[in-house]
A and B are shown apart, each in its own frame.
Chain A
Amino acid sequence: MQSAPLRSFGQILANWAGVLPFLAFAGLFLILPALHIFIGAFLDAEGRVTLQNFARLFEPYLFRAFWLSIQLSVISALLGAAVGFAMTWAVIHGNLPRGLRAPLMTFSGVAANFAGVPLAFAFIATVGRLGLVTVLLRDWFGVNLYATGFNLISFWGLVLVYLYFQVSLMVLIIAPALDGLKKEWREAAATLGATPGQYWRMVALPVLFPALLGAFALLFANSFGAIATAQALTGSSQTLITIQLFAQIRGDVLQDPRVGYAIAMGMVLITAFANTIYIVLRQRSERWMK
């Protein structure tokens, strides 16, 4: 017969056996590396606690990079949310042929994952200096796209490219919310004499608001952490904060890792804030989808 402590030890082990590998993995390759950076952000070269590293984030070149990333993320998230919402609304509530919905959802699933380097190549091949659209505009209409001030390797060029995965992500996450928008509410509003404008302002948008804001937050975080597309498209001419950090890590810019720690921590704070908004609002908006 087993002694009591031995059995309880075996029981504890059996209780934990399934999650131990997971917890060990998460500890070693997720928590520890992140903690290492967060703690390092508060230490100086001699290991004393300091806020000096964060003060350096306000040096113009870093501040500008943060600001550029925030602008890019806000604008691409706003436009992406608007276009994605309009497309999803069109296939769900616009009385379009029913067969359009499934292809849009499937395509969005693919397009949301078609990010990174290949996406940059696709846009270079389309609206780059020798791209299909550029050439056709020149040959058919005599329009020189690049004389109009357009440039793919610019802020608005990046917005144009980012929209590809932003719009498709929006379609994927807003479809359940638009499905939850009951047809009866619209009919009820109309029966009570509401104009379509009043219906949108007083019924649909208030109901959708948490979902829309949450989706915006997720799209923001989605583009804020991105780097591969921008790197492949612009090299480092558009100094987003991710590209600055990348250069910092590779040692192209500066040898002090502590500034890198502070940049990394600043980025995580921003994406954590955006993701928290998304998660909280998603729970609120799910109330209407039952």
Chain B
Amino acid sequence: MTVATTDTAAAAPAAARGPRANPWAWVAFGVGALYFLVPLVGMIEFSLRKRRGTYSFDAYTSVLGDPQFQQTFAFSLVMALVTIVIGVLIVVPAAIWVRIRLPWLRPVVEFLTLLPLVIPVIVIGFGYIRLYNTSSFLPMTGTAASTNVLLLMGYTTLALPYMYRAIDTGLRTIDVRTLTEAAQSLGAGWTTILARIMLPNVFGAVLSGAFLTFSIVLGEYVLAALLDRPAFGPYMVALGGNRAYEPAALAVIAFAITWGCMGLIQLAGRFQKHTRAART
């Protein structure tokens, strides 16, 4: 499960007056924090242990220099970027349309975007393999290129709940109907409205969805393994099976990327709020 948050709630009211801290609160927080932090320290320490008797970055140089790492990472990177583009192209118009033209369709669209959370990824992948195998009406698993397209569609499906919710939240902060009518009365067509009015207004929200999608796709394992594509996820599993220290280095890299994506999401959220504040 993947979740993005921008913690917008006000600071804890209980702490406002600053009475003495509850000792149990310290215990709960301390135990939890220890559990969260020790594995991080563990993986960092372990990743530095490759050279005997001293700490070194050997595991990192070994991983980063591995051509297979470079190929699979680049593959997943491109897949993530294309997934974002497809996701935006599909979700932004749909989210706008159900707000102004087909409001009765909105529950249906919302339900559909929630489905990927309900149906486990492995089931979706299984469906693809059975439905789009070489003897089906749409033999997408036939060639490497078409399998890549199928994988892209799968990634877009996984990203759908997060993409839709991010963009829907963004649209909630602007008056879609009034903006549309104003643009139309000035003679703008739908492409202009979408590209020059809506997209800039929800840009921060789109970015949030994009970074989350990026972090999902980059580490994804199940779909890529089922469709047998040379992605980063299956590479990590393979490396875990036959190396000792490199997996820890990979984990550190993956954690840094996740952290980076979440940081960028918070930045994007701030960007979104600013555009709203500037207008009202």
Hey, which bits of chain A sit against chain B, CB under 8 A? 14-19, 21-23, 25-26, 28-34, 36-37, 40, 83-84, 86-87, 89-98, 100-102, 104-127, 130-133, 163-165, 167-169, 172-173, 175-176, 179, 183, 218, 221-222, 224-225, 227-228, 231-232, 235, 242, 245-246, 249-250, 257, 260, 264, 267-268, 271-272, 275, 279
Residue of chain B at shortest CB distance from A126: B42
B117 / chain A contacts, CB cutoff of 8 Å: 221, 275
B21 / chain A contacts, CB cutoff of 8 Å: 94-97
Q: Given A127-B42, A242-B122, A110 and B250 touching (CB < 8 A)?
A: no
B42 touches A94 (CB 8 A): no
A-B contact pairs, 27 of them (CB 8 A): A16-B97, A18-B190, A19-B98, A19-B105, A19-B109, A29-B153, A30-B115, A30-B157, A33-B126, A33-B131, A90-B22, A93-B14, A96-B22, A97-B15, A101-B11, A109-B262, A110-B258, A113-B212, A116-B233, A120-B240, A125-B42, A168-B36, A221-B1, A224-B120, A227-B122, A231-B237, A246-B222
A20 CB, min distance to chain B CBs, angstroms: 9
A16 / chain B contacts, CB cutoff of 8 Å: 97, 102
Check if B46 is an interface residue, CB within 8 A of chain A: yes
B38 touches A133 (CB 8 A): yes
Cβ-neighbour of A30 out of B7, B19, B116, B258 (below 8 A):
B116
Cβ-neighbour of B250 out of A19, A86, A95, A118 (below 8 A):
A118
- B59-104 interface (Cβ within 8 A of A): 89-91, 93-94, 96-98, 101-102
Check if B13 is an interface residue, CB within 8 A of chain A: yes
B35 / chain A contacts, CB cutoff of 8 Å: 83, 163-164, 167
A19 / chain B contacts, CB cutoff of 8 Å: 93-94, 97-98, 102, 105, 109
B123 touches A109 (CB 8 A): no
B102 / chain A contacts, CB cutoff of 8 Å: 15-16, 19
Check if B40 is an interface residue, CB within 8 A of chain A: yes
B125 / chain A contacts, CB cutoff of 8 Å: 249
Chain B residues touching A, majority SS? helix
Cα–Cα, bound, A22→B96 (Å): 12
Cβ-neighbour of A164 out of B39, B131, B221 (below 8 A):
B39
Cα–Cα, bound, A169→B2 (Å): 9
A164 touches B3 (CB 8 A): no
Q: Given A96-B21, A275-B117, A275-B118, A91 and B12 touching (CB < 8 A)?
A: yes
B221 touches A123 (CB 8 A): no
Among the 9-residue stretches B23-31, B199-207, B271-279, the one with 4 or more Cβ atoms under 8 Å from chain A is: B23-31
Check if B236 is an interface residue, CB within 8 A of chain A: yes
Cα–Cα, bound, A258→B132 (Å): 16
A96 touches B7 (CB 8 A): no
